[in-house]
Structure 1
């Protein structure tokens, strides 16, 4: 699919999206070209553990299948002092997806890496609103569990969570855990996608789920399909969705395939392979 000519671009009305710009191959410090056959050819993500931090996942959806572990970040019961702060913990989730957003993200990952091992941690409610402490609890747990990949198609703008999220993103980097985070759909600063230790993703509109574009301009690292994406939804349905949220799991799925072939790779190596195999790398000029 990557060799086909890109389709005409649609107008995208959210921020941090591709404008079709090429990248200079001279910026890739590689001793030799990297092929997609070497990077992920034939891989299905088998054995790669992926955590989806979102609104939950619909169990048994035909586009996702069974075997998804379902957890949630929840406040612990109040003690004898109702005014005392209540801690957050990770518990079994019997409610499943409450919004459809997490199911869509999980289905996109599975469409590219059908044999990856999926775990869902629900932190969002039915209105796609969440609590920053719930997000931190989920990410702390996922990093401690050493998931290879954590897909975070959400972010917070609250500054008082920024420092803890930044420390956690750096901890993941050094632990060999890769955070893949969707850029905000508005032109604002939010986290964790703005941190350099995170692979950040915006959207392009080319109808190719394996098309990756490397961004030559900050702050987003890569663009993936995020416009008019056919994704699983609540009740076994399929819905057309758009947003950077749905671009990020395309990158997560491809990273799962890379990690099956190259299980020792961390965030730096995954970032380099994605950039070296991107579809918008301009042809090298003759020496």
Structure 2
């Protein structure tokens, strides 16, 4: 693939290549999620908040904000009922998930502010909150470059993996390693052009593992409106939504198994 933007650099050169996926019975995508709507699956959106009043989002099952607090034992505090989207980014991600898996139980975990920036301690706390509250899928269209938090993010990513919580994380839109997108326990995602909403590809040269629709996508935004946007942020909820449908049809699959199914249904898997 050529002429890709920086955020799709994981798929530069010859493209994602061919890969051998699990021999799922019948037509793979139908086996994976055919007829599934996300019912019974709890999905957390760790972001700038989610506007439940937006027609593309609908009802939220819960909303919290995780805020840095040096006086708190863990360095952060959790504020219940904080549902406002301070930027629009989280609403965009929630809308994409809802479009693919309309019956998921959506939870908003706000860790970003009005400038779409946040503290690593709050981001880490948001992941921990999602694991402790039994989320099945966590959409993280953000990542941290703070190397001081490498070990803490690695630890909580492993906790999620073994607890049965699937973390789906955007790779960075700029050069350099970010966390937790680099970790093998996480489903890492980059944006690609010209893909259908329910299509993804597997990258044979990780750490970025999957590519999905994320360029020039119409997404929900503030005040009930929409914008057109590009970036790994918007590819990630496409994969999270498909993962929710897989879990809806096959309850009890572990993160390892869901990742294997995603690999099997990728457009470049034989």
What is the number of equivalent residue pairs in this alignment? 268
Counterpart in the other structure of 1:35: 28
**Is the CA contact (8 Å cut-off) linking 2:64 and 2:83 kept in structure 1?**
no
Residue 47 of structure 2: which of 50, 54, 59 is its match?
Answer: 54
After superposition, residues 266-281 of structure 1 pair within 5 angstroms as 266-281=254-269
Do 1:143 and 1:172's aligned partners in 2 also have CA atoms closer than 8 Å?
yes
CA RMSD of aligned residues (A): 2.2
Which one of the candidate residues 50, 59, 62 is aligned to 1:69?
A: 62
Is 1:109 aligned to residue 97 of structure 2?
Answer: yes
Per the alignment, residue 220 of structure 1 pairs with 208
Paired residue for 2:77? 89
User: Structure 2 stretches of 5 or more lacking a match?
Assistant: none
Going from structure 1 to structure 2, the CA distance change for 1:76 and 1:147 (only over 3 Å counts) comes to same
Larger Rg, first or second structure (1 or 2): 1
Paired residue secondary structure (2:157) = helix
**Secondary structure of residue in 2 paired with 1:14:** helix
Contact map agreement 1:132 1:156 (CA 8 A) in 2 = yes
Distance 1:77 1:193 in 2: 26
The residue correspondences of 1:243-254 to structure 2 (distance < 5 A) are 243-254=231-242
Q: What is the 5 A alignment of 1:51-200? A: 51-75=44-68, 87-94=75-82, 96-200=84-188
Distance 2:181 2:4 in 1: 23
In the superposition, the TM-score normalised over structure 2's length comes to 0.92
